[in-house]
Amino acid sequence: MWLLIITVPLSGLLIPETNAVDKIVQIYTSLSEQNTEFQLSNIGRIGSQLAAINMGVSHPFSGIGLGQYGFYMPEYIPTWAWESSEINLWASSSPDTPWAPTQGLWARILAETGFIGLFLWLSVWITVLRSIWKRYFKLRQIDQQNSILALALFISIFGLMLNGFVSDSLRSLSYWITLGVAWAWLVKFNDKVDQ
């Protein structure tokens, strides 16, 4: 929580707009205002993630299948979330309706691939994080420049994992590029660290 309180104002100072302060205030007020568009949007986000979690619990082994969240979402939305206009729009079956977002990659993976898929996804990232962290401490004494790169990779991956709580796209290139760079870095410095 303190990280949020500190980083949002600091990042707002970097925005080259005259109304940056207004945008920062808007972020904080969106978390607490009642009976506004912010509250309904927050209800939509929470409702869609809870629907995904409920899907995953209902289909624990294989999930409902990759890309199938939008078809099953209306069955799993909590009743209180239907007051959000976003939920009603996403649940509509009329033509030209936008595809229902999960609003969180972790919830989406649970819904679409079950606990097994979530475990595998988490295992890949934790293995990479653990390997980078171990090599960082070994490289710190023998190669300062590459130990800084290891730390940057670690922070990037950790940030991507946090991003999975608010964004639900597997098409985001940041996951795949970061995983590829981390993998290449680990292969390159594997021999150097183990000597």
Q: What is the pLDDT of residues 111-165, one digit of tens each?
A: 999 999 999 999 999 999 999 988 888 888 887 777 888 888 999 998 888 888 8
Do 131 and 68 contact (CB within 8 A), yes or no?
no
pLDDT on residue 107: 93
pLDDT on residue 165: 87
Structure tokens given for 99: 């595809």
Question: 77-96 b/e with 16+ CB inside 10 Å = b?
Answer: beeebeebebbeebbeeeee
Q: What angle do CA 87, 90, 92 make, to 5 degrees?
A: 105
pLDDT on residue 167: 84
Q: What is the pLDDT along the chain (195 residues), one digit of tens a residue?
A: 455 555 555 555 555 555 666 666 666 666 565 555 556 677 888 999 999 999 999 999 999 999 899 899 999 999 999 888 888 888 888 888 888 888 889 999 999 999 999 999 999 999 999 999 888 888 888 877 778 888 889 999 988 888 888 888 788 888 899 999 999 888 887 765 555
Q: At what angle do helices 2-14 and 20-30 cross, to 10 degrees?
A: 160
21, HSE (Cβ side, Cα atoms, 13 Å): 1
Q: Where are the alpha helices (DSSP H) in the chain?
A: 2-14, 20-30, 37-58, 69-76, 85-91, 105-142, 144-163, 173-194
pLDDT on residue 172: 82
Give how far Cα 15 sits from Cα of 151, 159, 186, Å.
26, 20, 35
Q: What is the pTM of this model?
A: 0.75
pLDDT on residue 114: 95
CA distance 99 to 171: 15
